[in-house]
Amino acid sequence: MRWVNLTISRSTGLLLGALPLAALGLAYLLAAASRHAANPADKILPLPGAMAEAMGALLFDVDPLSGQILFWADLLASLQRLGLGLGIATFSTLLVGLVLGALPPVRATFGPLVTAIAVIPPIALLPILFIVFGLGETAKVALIVIGIAPYMIRDVAGHITALPREQIAKALTLGASSWQIVLRIALPQALPRLFEALRLSLGPAWVFLIAAEAIAADVGLGYRIFLVRRYLAMDVILPYVAVIALLAMLMDLLLTRASRRLFGWAHLASR
Amino acid sequence: MLSLRNVWIEYGEKVVLERISLDIAEGAFVSIIGPSGAGKSSLLRLILGQEAPSRGEILLDGQPLAPECGPDRGVVFQRYSVFPHMTVLDNTMFGLECAEAPFTARLFGARRRAARARAEAMLEAVGLGDSLNLYPAQMSGGMQQRLAIAQALIKQPRLLLLDEPFGALDPGIRADMHTLITGLWREFGLTIIMVTHDIKEAFSLGTRVLTLDKRRHDPHAPHRYGAGVIYDLALKKGAPIEQAEEREVVPLAGGITIDTKDNT
């Protein structure tokens, strides 16, 4: 059978998907083992035992300086910043994207502003945010919001603008007002797209979080990674990166599942 | 009932329609045919209110027509006439909900039950009584068009506009839809204006057939002249139309040619 026609069953798919990951892990182990054979004190590619030991201290021991268990404090701080940033971005996207997409006068007035903000590299704004909001939490959350909201707004607004004109005409002939069209036609059709935009923004959101934490923070996953870099502590950096990757995958999965459950109609065509 | 007085549509230099003067009587079933690009759909959009005429005026019951779609005119397009995020029932109830609940556009309790009953009766009339909870993506093209018709008729529009409503359907389904629309037209005393590519459909359904085409053509400036109504045929229809079975379309020898290409 030709490759384009092959269908992969769920179990085979899982197995096939696991293969490259397993190969990557094995390659790492082999490389680490060979480096340790040459130099038992090697820090660049730590063995799993060393990673477990280093992480154990961060996971279970109270740090005498701050009085906190470092890993959990880092995780909590980062997730709080990320959650606030994503939440504010999502909410403003819904509000702004909806009116921008559905109402031509609003689009004409504020569309160029959103575009202008969207083309600025957010990291270039970070110094301004630190100057304006200080070095506290606000600046970090603001960076995430400014980093992802304009993209999400443009995506959702574009999706609503692209709704067939026939649909709007039909709604008008059914007696709908502008408000009713926004509420019952534009909003429900924007929501699946919003979830999709949010899902695709998770990657950039993490980038902005880590960047903000690397520059000015005293706790957080990104802060820890950049702190222990000074000691070449790969045994901490690698597990932290793995945690970030796992969290990102988990959020991605949850959003996909939630969208399928909440907006079944939007996924009918692709089935 | 509907009058067009010397109506033109021009886009800059390009004249699409010129000198259209029509009176459409209550209860008529008007078919509009003509070659691609003859402005059939433009004329329909004009009556629908999606576009304003560049000259002339359109009167509905003697009142000038606002250039905005409104609930006095129902419409069924070839595609995208139904809302993909609503079930069949919600699609049909939407018109009622808009009228009765200006702020939430949703009905609750007894009023919802009343609207639901009306919607169910209407869906029964178009043959969708068993599909109340399906989404449009789960239905065939014919079922979607039935839904679009039910959705429009529940608002009891003065005028029902059909823009190639059956163009995307296969011949068997199309014959069913012809029977359906003829039945509904009689039952509800509708006034219908239908744009179609299918001459046979135009003549078998309509009580009046309008043919749009250019009266004059300047080969050096093809857009200089717009299309007008070149034939306006009133068909006598005493007896019910016998058109249950779909026969082969007889190819026209010479005369006007109507292309069957997709014209959206």
Select from A159, A165, A166 the residue whose CB has the most chain B CBs within 10 Å, as the one to mutate to test that interface: A166
Band of pLDDT at residue A28, cut at 50, 70 and 90? very high
Q: Is residue A51 part of a domain?
A: no
Q: What percent of chain B has pLDDT over 90?
A: 20
Domain of A65: which CATH number?
1.10.3720.10
Residues A83 and A40 in one domain: no
Q: Is residue A5 part of a domain?
A: no
Residues A76 and A40 in one domain: no
The C-alpha of A254 sits at a distance from chain B's nearest C-alpha, in angstroms, of 22
Is the Cβ–Cβ distance between B3 and B58 less than 8 Å? Answer: yes
Q: Is residue A1 part of a domain?
A: no
Residues A123 and A20 in one domain: no
Q: How far is residue B73's CA from residue B60's CA, in Å, rounded to a whole number?
A: 10
Residues A165 and A262 in one domain: yes
By Cβ distance, the residue of B81, B103, B137 closest to A170 is B81
Q: Is residue A165 part of a domain?
A: yes
- Extended beta strands in B39-174, E state: 55-60, 63-64, 73-76, 159-163
Residues A38 and A159 in one domain: no
A60-84: burial string, b at 16+ Cβ within 10 Å, e else: eeeeeeeeebbbebbbebbeebbeb
Residues A137 and A19 in one domain: no
The yes-or-no verdict on residue A258 having pLDDT over 50 is yes
Inspect the interface and report whether the beta carbons of A188 and B85 lie closer than 8 Å: yes
Q: Is residue A3 part of a domain?
A: no
CA angle B246, B206, B245 (to 5 degrees): 15
Q: Is B233 helix (H, G, I), strand (E, B) or coil?
A: strand
Residues A81 and A178 in one domain: yes
Band of pLDDT at residue A100, cut at 50, 70 and 90? very high
Amino acid at residue number B239 = A
CA B43 to chain centre: 11
Residues A116 and A183 in one domain: yes
Residue B56, phi-psi category: left (phi > 0), alpha (psi -120 to 50), beta (remainder):
left
Using alpha carbons, list the distances in angstroms from residue A30 to A19, A42, A45, A48, B74.
Answer: 16, 14, 10, 12, 72
Nearest to B149 by CA among B106, B197, B109, B184: B184
Residues A226 and A263 in one domain: yes
> Is this complex's ipTM strictly greater than 0.95?
no
The C-alpha of B147 sits at a distance from chain A's nearest C-alpha, in angstroms, of 12
> What average pLDDT score do residues A238-246 get?
94
Residues A71 and A191 in one domain: yes
CA A204 to chain centre: 6
Q: Is residue A149 part of a domain?
A: yes
Q: How far is residue B134's CA from residue B85's CA, in Å, rounded to a whole number?
A: 10
In sign, the C-alpha dihedral spanning A191, A193, A199, A205 is negative
| H-helix or E-strand spanning residue B3 | strand B2-11
**Residue of chain B with shortest Cα separation from A164:** B80
Select from B94, B122, B195 the residue whose CB has the most chain A CBs within 10 Å, as the one to mutate to test that interface: B94
Q: Is residue A121 part of a domain?
A: yes
Whether the model clears a pTM of 0.90, i.e. scores above it, the answer is no
| pLDDT tens-digit readout, B19-49 | 888 888 888 999 999 888 788 888 888 888 8
| pLDDT tens-digit readout, A228-239 | 999 889 999 999
Q: Which position has the token pair 């808009």?
A: B98
The C-alpha of B96 sits at a distance from chain A's nearest C-alpha, in angstroms, of 8
Number of structural domains, chain A? 2
Domain that holds residue A87: 58-270
β partners of residue A69: A62
Residues A207 and A232 in one domain: yes
The yes-or-no verdict on residue A170 having pLDDT over 50 is yes
Residues A29 and A75 in one domain: no
Q: Is residue A2 part of a domain?
A: no
